[in-house]
Amino acid sequence: MADKQKKPVIGSLQPDVDAMLDWDRLTPDDFAPAEPEEKENFIQARRSVSYWSDAWRRLRKNGVAMVALGVIVLLVLFAFVGPMLVPYGYDERNIGAENLFPYHYTLEEQAQYQEAASAADPETAVANARAEAEAKGETLTRKEEALIRAKAKSGGEYAGMSEAEVYAALGIHKHAFGYSNKELQRMADGEKVFPHMFGTDKLGRDIMVRTMYGTRVSMIIGLAAAFIVLVIGALYGSISGYCGGKVDAVMQRIVDVIYSVPEVLVILLISTSLQPHITQFITDHQGNGLAESMRTLGPNLIAMFISFGLLYWVSMSRIIRGQILQLKQQEYVTAARALGASGGRIIRRHLLPNCIGQIVVTTCLQIPSAIFLESFMSYLGVGVSAPLTSLGSMCRDALSGFTSYTYRLVIPAAIISVMILAFNLFGDGLRDALDPRLKK
């Protein structure tokens, strides 16, 4: 065997006995029992890789999912940290700063524009022209004078041009961020003014802060819905799957009924019928903490949460039921039962942990669909109540003036799309990482 040189395998649990033993030079010390420390050194243990770290490793390799995660983190910062940095409130009206665009012209440039665009006094124009002509030794005919008058009346050489075109003709470029004239004046006086980066709406509210709050509302609703779905769906699905038989049949019929009812209708219905009750409750319990929080949320959001609790968990419960049906045939479940474990314990300790991957993925993919639904409802005007805002209701408000104030529609619409996209992509990546069998 000596000629067969064994290559040491790195990380192998087999100690390389050949190299350790030099048969010619053995001393009695070599036969002494090993110290505990030596024993530990002898065992080359490899760090065990847990399910989660394995999944995390796979996820990290997935570039798209990591970018999506980065976008989600940025959006979370935008929604939760952003409002602390901006000195405006989401319902604070900045008087004199209504309808600002996300760009501005300096005061001097505006003065220049005014000068160019305002119709010069026809008589002065004619007098100027006359003086000019006399200097050249000519006289103006009546017709020429009339022409000059008409031209001056209609705004000079910039007649019929839009504001932007006039600025372009004057060679003036836009500067980023919106400032009202008052704010520009204050800046000229040496004060520091926070810009309206996305402009303001018709009530003078800063659109960036509103977008931040809207994103926050959407995210909270997405997370809360996912949580509701997780709890109810996992409970219902696991009980239905584990019990099987008649219980399962009845529970699945209930699911069938719920599944075929469109949730949008239910939200509309519940919010309509709840509105008077909630208003009543709030007026009856002035100053009560619960009533106050209900006032902030508004009846529509409460209706939305109720509907999530009533209807939205159905797909989750179906997925978990399917998993449990498969898993409960496994030997370890039989073993647990033979050892006398109760049904609840088997579900909690054996079945649910084994479909945790599915649960996490379904929960994660539930977030974008809840955000989707919320924006949809807000867009219809049955979402959050004013003055609180959400991305959907911002889009709705912007629609009527989208030809003049396109940015008001584009900004929230883009953010909501990016947010849903990021959650979708991250959920897909998570699915690939947690359950590689499902990868298509």
Partner 1 sequence: MAKYILKRIVMAIVTVLVVSCVTFLLMMSVPGSPFASERALTPQQEATLNAKYGLDQPLPVQMVNYLNKALHGDLGESLKMQKGRAVTDIIKEMFPVSAKIGAMALVWAVAVGILLGCLAAYHRGKWIDSLLRVVCTLGISMPSFVVASFLLILFCSPIAPQLLKSAQLTAIFDAGLGLKAYFMPCFALGLYPMCYTARLTRSSMLDAIGQEYIKTARAKGLKSGKIIFKHALRNALIPVITYLGPLVAFTLCGGFVVESVFSIPGLGRYLVQSITNRDYFIIMGVTIFLAAFVVIMNLVVDVVYKLVDPRIDITKGE
Footprint on this chain of partner 1 (rule: CB under 8 A): 249, 252-253, 256-257, 259-262, 264-265, 268-270, 272-273, 276-277, 280, 368, 372, 375-376, 379-382, 392, 395-396, 399, 402-403, 406, 409-410, 413, 416-418, 420-421, 424-425, 428, 440
Shortest Å, Cβ 241 to partner 1: 12
The DSSP H or E segment spanning 175 is strand 175-176
Rank residues 99 and 181 by Cβ distance to partner 1 and give the closer one.
99
Q: At its nearest, how many Å lie between partner 1 and the CB of residue 159? A: 19
Q: Indicate the SS3 state at residue 176.
A: strand
- Show the DSSP H helices in 118-188 as ranges: 122-135, 142-153, 163-169, 181-188
- 415-418 contacts, C-beta under 8 A, 24 or more apart: 415/75, 415/211, 415/214, 415/215, 415/391, 416/218, 416/371, 416/375, 416/391, 416/392, 418/71, 418/75
Which tokens sit at 182? 């008052």
* DSSP letter (8 states) at residue 89: -
Question: In the complex with partner 1, which residue's Cβ is closer, 124 or 273?
Answer: 273
Nearer to partner 1, 357 or 368 (CB): 368
Please state the closest distance from residue 258 (CB atom) to partner 1, in A: 9
- Residue 68, classified by CB atoms within 10 Å of its CB into exposed (0-12), middle (13-18) or buried (19+), is buried
Q: For partner 1, which is the closer residue by CB, 94 or 323?
A: 323
> Minimum distance from CB of 82 to partner 1 (Å)?
22
Q: How far is the CB of 403 from partner 1 (least distance, A)?
A: 5
Q: How far is the CB of 417 from partner 1 (least distance, A)?
A: 5
Nearer CB in complex with partner 1: 306/336: 306
- In the DSSP assignment, the letter for residue 261 is S
Q: Helices 51-61 and 63-76 sit at what angle, rounded to 10 degrees?
A: 100
Nearer Cβ to partner 1, position 126 or 377? 377
Half-sphere exposure of 15 (CA within 13 A, CB side): 10
